[in-house]
Amino acid sequence: MARSVPHILLRSFLMLAATALMVAFYAWLYISVLGLDLPKAAMLKKRNAEWQSRSELLSRQLDAYENTLVGIEDRDNGVYRSIYGMSAIPSELKTATIDAELYDSLASQGATPQFLSMLARVSDITRRTYVQSKSLDQINLVAKRAGDLISCVPAVPPILPRPGNYHISSRFGYRVDPVRGGGEFHQGIDFAMQRGSPVYAVGDGVVEKAEIKFSGYGNEIIIDHGFGYKTRYAHLNTIEIAPGMKVSRGEKIGTVGNSGKSTGSHLHYEVLYRDGRVNPMNYMDLTIPEEEYRSMIDKRSEESVRGKKLSTSELLKKRNANETTGH
């Protein structure tokens, strides 16, 4: 007896339902019980893990790059632009924002917050790098036009920056006076060192003052570097130069002492720009390798022996000519 059409359809439906249930059961068993993924899900999971790993690596690389960039920006504004009398770069020039339409488009396409955040960081670093590149180009141009400015401006520590050779006992800024007590503005940096340690000129110039005193700054030297810059070296033990002499960067000018108003052996060092005190830390790098610093000292000593220095009158004439032309 032939089966009816409804019976056949019902049987087919039941077979399909049973098959679907079996597939669902095995999928549940495969994923939930055995802890495995379906091939497509496993592939997506693997890709997601790879993306997450690459994202974390990129984030660490961006952190390292940004830290380096921050160091360059700080040195650019605090040292290089300050040396050449250039104003700091406005912070708004470094600020970058993602295009709103691009952001909305990416968000609508399912871009994750993590991806959008990383994109914003890349955009910010790219903008700041571009601004910094233009700034260094500008500084390079000014430096080429500056002539003697590079060799005259204070740019190195006045003492051998060897670890253990010194420690900074007092920084630029407000402090408690070590002799009288009470607050005062300390106008330089104090390098606590062994008595007799060498003191070096931080830039080419002419000795304006070399005086032996028993009070105040004690035995002190002031060097006029031109271009508005002067440096003071105080509380010295010995003075090895005289007013009117021409000195070069890296040339020994005296030794550390405890003269004048002092509570211990140290060098008090000041940088003056247009008769105003400025932070000496902006005009030196205490991390300069000892070998590089010694090489500079040796070079100056050799030049002095060979008599290649300009005379005092020649230096003053050259410096005044530069200041007149605005270089």
The answer on 314 and 236 residing in a single domain is yes
Report residue 196's pLDDT band, with 50, 70 and 90 as the boundaries. Answer: very high
The answer on 174 and 55 residing in a single domain is no
The answer on 92 and 123 residing in a single domain is yes
Mean pLDDT value of segment 224-247: 94
Which of 181, 180, 80, 98 is closest to 135 using CA atoms? 80
Give pLDDT, residue 244: 94
Whether 306 shows a pLDDT value over 90: the answer reads no
Report if pTM > 0.85: no
Question: What CATH number should be reported for the domain holding residue 282?
Answer: 2.70.70.10
d(CA 265, CA 30): 79
DSSP letter at 267 equals E
The answer on 226 and 310 residing in a single domain is yes
The answer on 268 and 119 residing in a single domain is no
d(CA 200, CA 166): 14
The answer on 192 and 69 residing in a single domain is no
Helix (H, G, I), strand (E, B) or coil at 61: helix
pLDDT digits (tens, 9 = 90+) for 134-163: 888 877 777 766 667 778 889 899 999 998
Looking at 113, 146, 179, the residue that finishes a domain is 146
Task: Give Cα 112 distance to the centre of its chain.
Answer: 33
The answer on 158 and 119 residing in a single domain is no
Which of 154, 151, 161 is closest to 300 using CA atoms? 151
What is 110-157 written as a DSSP string? T--HHHHHHHHHHHHHHHHHHHHHHHHHHHHHHHHHHTTHHHHS--S-
The answer on 24 and 141 residing in a single domain is no
The answer on 304 and 237 residing in a single domain is yes
d(CA 307, CA 147): 21
Looking at 111, 146, 181, the residue that finishes a domain is 146
The answer on 229 and 135 residing in a single domain is no
Joined tokens for residue 305: 């022996």
Give pLDDT, residue 313: 47
What is the dihedral sign for C-alpha 308, 312, 314, 320?
A: positive
Question: Residue 13 belongs to what domain range?
Answer: 1-36
The answer on 308 and 239 residing in a single domain is yes
- In single-letter form, the type of residue at position 279 comes to N
The answer on 306 and 162 residing in a single domain is yes
What's the number of domains the chain is made of? 3
